[in-house]
Amino acid sequence: MGAAIAGAFLDSGYATTVWNRSADKADTLVECGALKAADLAAAVAENDIILVCVLDYPALYELLEPVRETLSGKVLVNLTSGLPSEARAAADWARGLGLRYLDGAVLAVPPAVGQPQTQLFYAGEQQVYRDCAEVLGALGTSVYFGADPGSAAQYDLALLGILWATLTSALQGFALTGSGERLLPFAESWLTNVVLPSIRGAAKQVDSGDYGGAVSTVSLNAHGLAKMIQAGREQGIASDLMTPIKEFLDRRLADGFGQDSLASIVEVIRNPGAPRPAGPVRHR
C-alpha cells in the first residue's frame, strides 16, 4: 500500500521522499522520480508532511519514537488500519510531540489508489485536513469525518464488516448451489433489487427506532433461516455464518418482537448484554 500511495503522489507531480525498512522496496519508486532517504531521520527532516502506512499502530510508534525530537510542527497523516481507540491514542501521542495529526483509512486495494472512485476517510483537526486536502486529493476522493480522530477508523471498520459479511454469504451460496458462476447473475439481481433497498430501509428504521408495519418480520426470517442452516447441514457444508444471525432472531422472537422488522435485531447487536423482559413478553 505504501508504494501505491507514493506512486500516486509522483503521478500527480508532487515531490516525494520515500523510506522503507526494506530499502530495496523503494527502488522502483526512485526510478519513477522519488527521492530515496538514507534513513527515516532524513526522510522526516526533509518534509513537512509525513505519511505513514504500516501494519499496525505499534509499528507506527516503533518507527517514529526514535525520531520524536524532530517531529514538532510537522503534519503526520497516518493511514495505518486500526481501532478507533488506537487512533485516538495516537492523536494524543502526536499532540504531545507537537505534531499536527490526521488519522485515515484507504478503502481500496493498492492498484486502485489514485483513482477518483477510491475513497479515503480522514479524521482529526479540521484545519490540518484543510491544509492537506489538495495534496491528499492525489490518492482519490477524500472524505472528512470530523474532529474525533477515531471516526475514520469507525466508518472504515463498518464498511469492511459489510464487505466481509456479504462476500462470505455469497461464498456460502456458491457452496450451497455448487457453483459460483451459475448463481452469480441471480445474486447480482438480488443484491441490486432486494438487498440494497432492504439496507436503505433498515437504515431509516434503525435511526427512527420504529420497526413496526413490517412485511419481512423477525418471525418469518427466523423460520426461513432455520431452513437454510438445515439445508447446509444436509449437504455437509458449514453453516456457521448463519448461526449467529439465527441466534439474534431467536432472542428477538423470545423477547416478544416477532412481528417487528428484520432491522430490529440491531437492538440485540447494540445491547448484547441487556436483560430479558421479566414475566409475560409483549408480542407485536
Burial of 124 (0-12, 13-18, 19+ CB in 10 A): buried
pLDDT above 90: percentage of residues in the chain: 91
Task: Tell me: do 224 and 103 sit in the same domain.
Answer: no
> Do 110 and 56 fall into the same domain?
yes
pLDDT at 283: 43
Which are the contacts of 273, defined by CB distance < 8 A and separation ≥ 6?
Answer: none
pLDDT tens digits, 201-230: 999 999 999 999 999 999 999 999 999 999
Range of the domain at 257: 181-270
pLDDT at site 281: 42
145 and 189, same domain (yes or no): no
The answer to whether residue 166 sits within a structural domain is: no
Do 201 and 214 contact (CB within 8 A), yes or no? no
Q: For the chain, give the mean pLDDT.
A: 94
Contact 58, 121 (CB under 8 A): no
Last residue of a domain, one of 154, 173, 206: 154
Residue 192 domain-assigned (yes or no): yes
Q: Distance between CA atoms of 25 and 200, rounded to whole angstroms?
A: 44
Does residue 277 sit within a domain? no
pLDDT attached to residue 109: 96
Q: How many domains does the chain have?
A: 2
CATH number at 234 reads 1.10.1040.10
Summarize pLDDT for 84-142 with one digit per residue, the tens.
999 999 999 999 999 999 999 999 999 999 999 999 999 999 999 999 999 999 999 99
Query: Do 219 and 112 belong together in one domain?
Result: no
- Asked if residue 24 has pLDDT above 90, the reply is no
Is residue 49 in a domain? Answer: yes
Read off the CATH number of the domain in which 46 is found: 3.40.50.720
Q: Do residues 124 and 200 both lie within one domain?
A: no
Whether 172 maps to a domain, the answer reads: no
Say if residue 276's pLDDT is above 70: no
| Residue 141 included in any domain | yes
Q: What is the pLDDT of residue 20?
A: 86
Mean pLDDT of 54-64: 96
pLDDT at residue 282 tops 70: no
- Asked, for residue 17, whether it belongs to a domain, the answer is yes
∠ CA 165-167-168, nearest 5°, is 65
pLDDT band at 33 (very low <50, low <70, confident <90, very high): very high
With cut-offs at 50, 70 and 90, classify the pLDDT of residue 6.
very high
Residue 193 is predicted with a pLDDT of 98
Does the pLDDT of residue 275 top 80, yes or no? Answer: no
129 and 209 inside one domain: no
Do residue 198 and residue 93 come from a single domain? Answer: no
| Residue 239 reports pLDDT greater than 90 | no
Residue with cell 427466523: 222
154, 173, 194 — which closes off a domain? 154
Q: How does residue 39 score in pLDDT terms, banded at 50, 70 and 90?
A: very high
